[in-house]
Amino acid sequence: MPESLANGLSRPRVRFAPSPTGFLHVGSARTFIFNWLYARHHGGSMILRLDDTDVERNTQASVDSIFDGLKWLNLGWDEEYKQSERIELHRKTAWTIFEKGLAYRDFTPAHTGEAEKSGAQGTWLFNPGARELSAAESDRRAAAGEPFALRFRVPREGGQLIRFADAVYGEQMKAAADIEDFALLRSDGMPTYHLASCADDADLRISHIIRGQDHLTNTFKHVLIFEAAGFTPPQFAHLPLLVAPDGTKLSKRRHGPVVSVTTYRDAGFLSEAFINFLCLLGWSPKNDRENMSLQELTDLFSLEGINRSNAVVNFKEPATTPEETFDPKAVWLNAEHIRGLPVEELSARLLPIVQGEGFDVSPEKMLRITPLIRERIKLLRDVLTTADFFFVDQLPPYDPAELIPQKGDAAMASKVLTRAREVLANVEFKHDPLDHALRAAAQELGVKAGQMFQPIRVAVCGRKNAPPLFETLEVLGRETTLARIEQALQKAGVVVG
């Protein structure tokens, strides 16, 4: 009687099993997130298993990239394993299958011999003679030290169908006769991906395997392994692929760093906005909402909401601005999440970015700046271009013509700045006193308020497009404000006595 992997538990056990052969791909991150949401929605367990048995391709840099990306997502997991520490379990599973007569030794040297190619599309199925070798002959050659691979004996008679139900793609079936006798152990004794994955899933009591659609065809082999090892297969759910605008599968070689999770982190995405965005690639809640908190995603998530169609990540190739590197919906969601953050939390996230660029900004000053720019930034790193004038001692060069107000001239700009210098030398640097004093000065000069404010804004910020003027002046302070107005007067050609 096969043993159920769910083990009678009502709470699911799911796993994310990356191979450390590259960076953390956005598709892998989405797989992790969907597993995490499913586990948390049902009060189950999230397991991280590093599938690191491919020693030739594994790198420490890849391990670091995976953990860097997962750490940034800040979701966490309940249990952690390394597949390389479980080799004996894998081998034991393989020999259990062998002892049942469901696997055999194949002594055929690699890339030699006549292969049986009677599968669909003429695919390789097995090496003739290897399946029929007697147990005694197999044991004798193995005892003599002849190398062999251990292969699964796929049933080839009786028209057997391999079936499984997929939570996303529905009932799946394939003729067993079209599946090759895949290896369980290589000739060096190391387990293959198929064996190690299934042995670990069985041992760790994984109840639901939620992974990319590119694993769908592997699942027929996995069903055979689970059943041969004496386990009822877990439930399967395969996720639609993430593709580029041209329909090709996202890959670093073709599409560059946009497919790496840390690219989003380094560009200034909030992890919670990135999670929100990835969830909308291939899944949607019943109410079609888009902007959702992590708790809302957890409450709403279900396998039934996953789509079968591949999900397009809409970025421009080539991108002409940093923003075009990313899907516009990702950027929009990030801006929405930024606006939803408490000022104190947003300030705490912006401060390391500003200080990382070498600016000596105190937490107190950053907290005063943050509400002025919160509505004006889409990515966290936008703080460096939106609020740069708060951080620098000297403004970068700007066009003096920017000082000239609408429907005004250079003389009006000079007149406004001269009066502003006088008023701002004495007024209290708080919003209301600044507002009243500068509006009164505009009336005295016979100019509109906008014509009064624009030269001052350009003088202190270096541009017209900037946060609200009085709040900006309050943060900059009297000394910086007067020094910048002095420099603006010189730009405007006024000789200061």
Nearest Cα neighbor of 229 from 194, 202, 189 is 202
Give the active site residue among 82, 252, 316, 448.
Answer: 252
Q: DSSP state, 161? A: E
What 451-455 contacts at long range (C-beta under 8 Å, 24+ apart), as own/partner pairs, is 451/405, 451/406, 451/407, 451/408, 451/412, 451/416, 452/405, 452/416, 452/420, 454/403, 454/405, 454/406, 455/403, 455/404, 455/405, 455/413, 455/416, 455/417, 455/420, 455/488
Do 378 and 335 meet the contact criterion of CB atoms below 8 Å apart?
A: yes
Active site residue 448: no
Nearest Cα neighbor of 300 from 318, 276, 322, 265 is 276
Query: Which residues, in sequence order, are bridge partners of residue 175?
Result: 161
Nearest Cα neighbor of 277 from 337, 342, 221, 194 is 337
* Token digits of residue 181: 């006798």
Query: What crossing angle do the helices spanning 410-424 and 449-461 adopt, rounded to 10°?
Result: 80
Q: How far apart, in whole angstroms, are the C-alpha atoms of residue 183 and residue 162?
A: 18
The answer, yes or no, to whether the previous bond of 318 is cis (omega within 30 of 0) is yes
In Å, what is the CA distance from 159 to each residue of 104, 151, 162, 217?
Answer: 21, 20, 10, 19
* Token digits of residue 263: 């690219």
Sorted by sequence, the CB contacts under 8 Å of residue 360 that are 6+ apart come out as: none
Do 51 and 83 meet the contact criterion of CB atoms below 8 Å apart?
A: yes
In Å, what is the CA distance from 461 to each residue of 218, 396, 403, 441?
Answer: 59, 10, 11, 20
- How many C-beta neighbours within 10 Å does residue 326 have? 24
Phi-psi region of 358 (alpha: psi -120 to 50; beta: other; left: phi over 0): left
Nearest Cα neighbor of 267 from 345, 340, 319 is 319
For the chain, how many helices (H) and strands (E)? 19, 14
Q: How far apart, in whole angstroms, are the C-alpha atoms of residue 110 and residue 463?
A: 69
Do 222 and 234 meet the contact criterion of CB atoms below 8 Å apart?
A: no
Query: Which residues, in sequence order, are bridge partners of residue 166?
Result: 170, 236
In Å, what is the CA distance from 243 to each residue of 70, 250, 432?
Answer: 22, 5, 53
- How many C-beta neighbours within 10 Å does residue 408 have? 19
Q: Provide the annotated active-site residues.
A: 252
